[in-house]
Structure 1
Amino acid sequence: MPSPIVPAPQPASPDVLRDSPFLKACRREPAEITPVWLMRQAGRYMSEYRELRAKVSFLDLCKRPELATEVTVTAAEVLGVDAAILFADILLILEPLGFQLEFTKGEGPAIHNPVREAGDVDRVRPLQTAEPLGFVADAVRSIRAALNPATPLIGFAGAPFTVACYAIEGGGSRHYEKAKAFMYRDEGAWNVLMSRLVDATAIYLNSQVAAGAQAVQLFDSWVGTLSPADYRRFVQPHMRRLFGQLDPSVPSIHFGTDTGLLLTLQRDAGGSVIGLDWRVELDEAWDRLGPSVAVQGNLDPVVLFAPLPEIERQVGRILDQAGGRPGHIFNLGHGILPKTPVDHVRALIDMVHEKTSRN
């Protein structure tokens, strides 16, 4: 990996950032190009990231602002994207709430004291301030200072449902049977847990905005496991309250996977931009959502393993569906996969820029 990036004293110009294609799209305003950024754009598919990870643990990478700055800014510069996204993890918020979090090699995250019974919710500590997560705000400030002054920075957090699933399951899951059984068995305890996660997440995201993020994204990666009726009952009221607590001066992106049946419910819960995964057609989804929100998406990440002509065909299909309407942010339908060819990622970004240049 290159030598650590030393943040330069170059404060971002509010006007330059406000006029960036990404923030224009978030506001559903015409932009000179369709902006593109990619979820997990700093990750294992990049040799620079792998070299650094060989020296430090994943949690160290998240908790040391100078390293989070290095991987965030390097990815944005190497790829030429229209927005950078903070390097962190959605589960960092669990530690100050009293959970014992570990990232085990080859196994992913493990929570050693999961919530399993209603009484376990009592030991979930409310987050009073963002101070226990101050290293993330420090990383935002450091990234903002090192990043191109015209490139917006996106902060993020896990949405309460997805974080609750991890907290109850004790890690990842295929069907989330423990989390959903807990939800069905004791709705009162579920609501208390979700309320604590909502309050903590609002404090956390607002601290990222105060530190210099120009937008925030909520990742509800597992909410697609719910039926519309269950989403409406167990999640939507909490998401409404969360979006109501977020700093309204910056746009918010509401993203989930496998949410084709939940999109209008997500829109009604909140967010300036609704993220779409690849299981829906962008034009049909946008028509259902209506003109009040921008959309983000939605190339299947596996398409990046295809030959370049096929990638170009798939990019063209999505751009045709967007139809040049203001408010489209090009992205994948989920994160870049670890073995994705870097040259295909660069080619994708160039394709979007070349096909949508309006100068």
Structure 2
Amino acid sequence: MIQNDLFLRTLRGETVERPPVWMMRQAGRYLPEFRALRDQYDFFTRCRTPELVAEITIQPVDIVQVDAAILFSDILVVPQAMGIDIEMKENIGPFIAHPIRNTQDVERVQIPDVSHALGYVMEGIHLTKERLNNRVPLIGFAGAPWTILSYIVEGKGSKNFDIAKAFCFSQPELADQLLQKITDTTILYLKEKVKAGVDAIQLFDSWGGVLSPEDYSTFSWKYSRQIVEALSPLVPTIVFAKGCSFALEQMSQSSVAALGIDWTCQPSLARTLTQGKKVLQGNLDPAWLLASPEQITEKTHQMIRSFGKDLYIANLGHGILPNVPVENARAFVNAVKTFVE
């Protein structure tokens, strides 16, 4: 039995004493302990070494006292396993020397044996679960197919992913083939993660917001929903689609357990669009963690009151910033834990 199961009880829709709290990118650069390991090992070495995965995943549980751990990994391990060469370049981020742009490129993309190609992730889960010792739940994650396509077609990060969008708009059948391959691989991958022991799944659609509502339905949600429906019978699933409040009503009509909300969407609107039936997660602007601890506490309590105590997971509206002081991250977590209606 998990000792602190507040996060899982909330995902099940139970009435709880307070909202659970965790932070996207909580296993990250704001922690000196993380930076020490980053200085010793390159990015994908950290992702592929189970001992490092377990250590990094558990750091925020020990240091900041969050209510859930999220496995340290990266969304791009999936396209790597599909045969796409991806580097993580300093000051650039993900870089694909040979982006996917035509029929021959798409044909070369494989649906791998994920238990073999991504076995190191499963080893990381096993070791993390062992070291967590049932203190808090463990979240596994993957990137939404559209977000993965954005990187592997564009070739690198972008503000608007025009090349990726043009690929989809001008070659929709080819885009469908690629998106379906990513979707099928992601379902296999996440099912393996569940077998390995994760307690919940979050799907990150970081770049869904660059699409129009119609294009989001066509090129993103169509595929993300397949993942949600495949995984929801096994574990609670959360979808965080940044900049996609326009799709909350549509997304809430699936078997998703919770929907992540970014800071551009008012809590009252999110509740209305989801008819008050779904667990919502978010949505503090990560930059608020650069304010004083007193301001963080006040803003966090205001956020909880806006969403309501139940059917709610306290989190940020995107990942924690690398320059946030650790004491401010603690202030956020403590503000949630001390909230009184």
So what's the TM-score if we normalise by structure 1?
Answer: 0.92
1: CA distance, partners of 2:98 / 2:186? 20
Deviation at 1:218, TM superposition (A): 0.3
Aligned with residue 163 of structure 2, among 178, 183, 197: 178
Runs of 4 or more above 3 Å deviation:
none
- 1:338 matched to 2:322? The reply is yes
Q: Counterpart of 1:151 in 2: which secondary structure?
A: coil
Shift of the alpha carbon at 1:202? 0.5
Question: 1:243: how far off?
Answer: 1.7
Paired AA for residue 308 in structure 2: G
> What amino acid maps onto 2:233 in structure 1?
P
Structure 1 residue aligned with 2:69: 84
Matched with 1:227 is: 212
Determine the structure 2 residue equivalent to 1:265. 250
Asked whether the 8 Å contact 2:145–2:179 carries over to 1, the reply is yes
TM superposition shift of 1:234: 2.2
**1:227 Cα deviation from its structure 2 partner:** 1.0
Q: Does 1:93 align with 2:93?
A: no
Pick from 312, 316, 323 the counterpart of residue 328 of structure 1: 312
Q: Distance in 2 between matches of 1:228 and 1:240?
A: 15
Would you say the 8 A contact 1:209–1:247 is kept in 2?
no
- Matches of 1:267 and 1:247 in 2, distance apart? 13
Contact persistence 2:144–2:220 (CA under 8 A): no
Task: Look up the match of 1:121.
Answer: 106
Matched residue type, 1:182: F
Preserved contact between residue 206 and residue 247 of structure 1 (Cα < 8 Å): no
Distance 1:45 1:286 in 2: 31
Could you tell me whether the CA contact under 8 Å between 2:229 and 2:254 is conserved in 1?
A: no
Matches within 5 A, 1:28-177: 28-177=13-162
Q: CA deviation at 1:291?
A: 3.3
Alpha carbons of structure 1 residues 284 and 247: separation in structure 2 relative to 1, 3 Å: closer
What amino acid sits opposite 1:338 in the alignment? P
C-alpha displacement of 1:57? 0.4
Contact preservation (8 Å) 1:24, 1:327: no
Which stretch of the first structure deviates more once superposed, 308-317 or 36-45? 308-317
Counterpart in the other structure of 1:6:
none
Moved more, 58-67 or 310-319: 310-319
Contact 1:237 1:269 in 2 (8 A): no
Cα distance, 1:20 vs structure 2: 1.0
- Deviation of the 1:109 alpha carbon: 1.0
1:274 maps to what in 2? 259
Aligned position for 1:354:
338
Say if 1:118 and 1:186, in contact at 8 Å, map to a contact too: no
* Structure 2 counterpart SS, 1:54: helix
- Determine whether 1:243 maps to 2:228: yes
Partner of 1:253: helix, strand, or coil?
Answer: strand
Report the more deviating stretch, 124-133 or 148-157: 124-133
**Distance across 2 between alignment mates of 1:339 and 1:145:** 31
1:324-344 deviation line (CA, Å, top 9, x unaligned): 2x2100000000111111100
In structure 1, what is the Cα distance between the partners aligned to 2:157 and 2:255? 26
- 1:282·1:297 contact (CA, 8 Å) conserved in 2? no
Change in 2 beyond 3 A, CA 1:270/1:190: farther
**Alignment correspondent of 2:5:** 20
TM-score by length of 2: 0.97
CA deviation after TM superposition for structure 1 residue 199, in Å: 0.5
The AA in structure 1 aligned to 2:315 is: N
Answer whether contact 1:301 1:335 (CA < 8 A) is retained. Answer: yes
Rounded Cα–Cα distance in structure 2 between residues aligned with 1:165 and 1:302: 26
Q: What is the Cα deviation at residue 270 of structure 1? A: 4.7
Measured in 2, the distance between the counterparts of 1:89 and 1:236 equals 21
SS of the aligned residue for 1:298 comes to strand
Cα pair distance change 1:247/1:318, threshold 3 Å: closer
Q: Distance in 1 between matches of 2:337 and 2:19?
A: 7
SS at match of 1:199: helix
User: Partners of 1:146 and 1:283 in 2: how far apart?
Assistant: 39
- How far apart, CA to CA, are the structure 2 residues paired with 1:337 and 1:164? 25
Aligned residue type for 2:331? A
Task: Write the letter of the residue equivalent to 2:323.
Answer: K
Residue in 2 aligned with 1:210?
195
Which whole-Å deviations, capped at 9, do the CAs of 1:16-61 have from their partners, x for residues lacking one? 36x7110011111111221000001111111000111111001100
Do the aligned partners of 1:41 and 1:335 also contact (CA within 8 Å) in 2? yes
SS in 1 for 2:87: strand
Secondary structure in 2 matching 1:219: strand
Q: Which runs of 5+ in 1 are unaligned?
A: 1-12
Residue 10 of structure 1 corresponds to: none
Contact 2:27 2:60 in 1 (8 A): yes
1:267 shift after superposition: 2.3
| 1:187 counterpart = 2:166 | no
SS of the counterpart of 1:331?
strand
Superimposed CA distance per residue, residues 43-88 of structure 1 (whole angstroms, 9 cap, x where no aligned partner): 1111000111111001100000000101111221111000000000
Cα distance in 1 between the residues matched to 2:211 and 2:125: 33
Q: Cα deviation per residue 1:214-241 (whole Å; 9 max; x = unaligned)?
A: 0010000000111111112222222222
